[in-house]
Amino acid sequence: MKLNNIPVFALAIGLLGVGRPKQPTNDAEKLKQVLTGYFEGIETKDTVKMKALTTDDFILYENGAVWNNDSAFMNIRRHMPFTVKYTFANFKIHVDSASGDMTYTNHADFVFKVTNKVALDWIESATFRKIAGEWKMNFLQATLRQP
């Protein structure tokens, strides 16, 4: 191959990718799965699952309280027995190759000690990092929604 053909060859290779649709990424959906998996862990009191879905330095800000996984787990145990069902809506998700963030609304129906029913609505945001190819939640912020 002549040296003057190398730039033409390189340009031709580069143009092969032009016009092709990019491979769809489902990272936004994966972030949703991490988030909902974390809350499923709360529903089932599965702290192993919750910890597996978060970074080692995970932090939760909830109405002025600051929690890490250990303190959140103690709080879950303190309020047992309870049942809860979470419902999420209004997702806005931004993601790149190594990090992501989302905002959403969260409705929870709690039942404490069989008879005390409480319904709560939050405005929430979460951030995520990709660690060793897996998405992990590293920050969660929850504020009670005002009527």
Q: What is the pTM of this model?
A: 0.80
User: What is the reported pLDDT for 31?
Assistant: 97
Query: Is 11 in a helix, a strand, or coil?
Result: helix
For residues 1-30, one letter each, b for 16 or more C-beta atoms within 10 angstroms of the residue's C-beta and e for the rest, the string is eeeeeeeeeeeeeeeeeeeeeeeeeebeeb
DSSP 145: P
Residue 3: C-alpha distances to residues 9, 15, 51, 109, 127 (Å): 10, 20, 57, 70, 49
Element holding 6 (H helix, E strand): helix 6-16
Structure-token pair, residue 10: 């390189």
Domain ranges of the chain: 25-144
User: What is the reported pLDDT for 12?
Assistant: 45
- Are 119 and 35 contacting, i.e. CB atoms less than 8 angstroms apart? no
pLDDT in tens, the chain (147 residues): 455 555 544 444 444 444 444 434 589 999 999 999 999 999 999 999 999 999 999 999 999 999 999 998 888 888 778 899 999 999 999 999 899 999 999 999 999 877 789 999 999 999 999 999 999 999 999 999 987
Partner residues linked to 110 by β-bridges: 84, 118
Q: State in words which class domain 25-144 has.
A: alpha beta
CA 74 to chain CA centroid, Å, is 22
User: What is the reported pLDDT for 15?
Assistant: 45
User: What is the reported pLDDT for 21?
Assistant: 41
